[in-house]
Amino acid sequence: MPSVLTDDEIKDRIRKFEVLIDEAQKQGANVDGVKQNLETAITKYDSSDSQSAHLALVDARSQLSGEVRSLKNGRKYLFQMAIYGIWPILYGLAWFVVLAYTLLYWPPLGLKIPAQPFGVPAWAALVAGLGACVQIFVDVVSDVKDDGIVQGFRRDWYVVLPFVSLVFGVVAYMLVGQGMLSLSGQSTSSTSGSQTDLLFIITFLSGYSTDWFMGKLAALTSSTTQTSTKS
């Protein structure tokens, strides 16, 4: 008999198992029996019968594994890829290789994209793209650790993230150049010398921490709106 889990561990496993069942059902698995075992586990958990809840979860897990193994047409592998986040990792690696190669072997420091009217060097977008790749790697591990699977809406976000980061990198470079964005909160308009290091850091963060950068954009928008209202 498996060792009995704590109430918090059982609650966490129930939450993760609900996500697994939903993904298996999307791939065509018959999960009716699995859901019944899960409902039994929930009922036992609600009645403070931790041992029975744990056993019901073990039975549900075993039954789900059998249903997944019976999937055909490669759906079993699609389910496994979703569990371990293989697709987002491969997608992020592909982007990372392309961006790193371009940054190292294509002369981006002298290239302007576009030449007019922004005059932003290509490395700003490329560095932000590398930051997005790192975000994908880190978040996939976090998704699997927290939810036991990379959910569909997260996979969709990882697909568009590199494209979003390329734009964010250009915008971040322009904001730093205009003295509207910095790490310290103190604006600066210089984009030469040691300021290049800051530009690399901020453009990388605009791709790696999109929530942080969108927060900065929201703060700038709010500040601009308030200024316009006062004037």
Task: Measure CA 180 to chain center.
Answer: 27
Residue 107: what pLDDT? 61
Indicate if 205 and 92 belong to the same structural domain: yes
65 pLDDT higher than 80: yes
Residue 96: what pLDDT? 96
If you search the block for the tokens 């982007």, which residue do you land on? 95
Instruction: Express as a percent the part of the chain with pLDDT over 90.
Output: 24
Residue with the larger pLDDT of the pair 222 and 127? 127
Indicate if 89 and 72 belong to the same structural domain: no
Task: Name residue 112's beta-bridge partners.
Answer: 121
> Span 170-174, mean pLDDT?
90
Residue 168: what pLDDT? 94
Instruction: Express as a percent the part of the chain with pLDDT over 70.
Output: 84
Indicate if 55 and 143 belong to the same structural domain: no
In the structure, what pLDDT confidence band is assigned to residue 116 with cuts at 50, 70 and 90? Answer: very low
Range of the domain at 216: 85-230
Residue 162: what pLDDT? 95
The CA-CA-CA angle for residues 108, 163, 161, to 5°, reads: 125
Task: Measure CA 207 to chain center.
Answer: 11
Residue type, 129: G
The CA-CA-CA angle for residues 152, 154, 158, to 5°, reads: 115
Domain boundary among 40, 61, 79: 79
Handedness of CA 37, 59, 24, 147 (dihedral sign): positive
- Whole-angstrom Cα distance, residue 120 to residue 100? 18
Residue 186: what pLDDT? 52
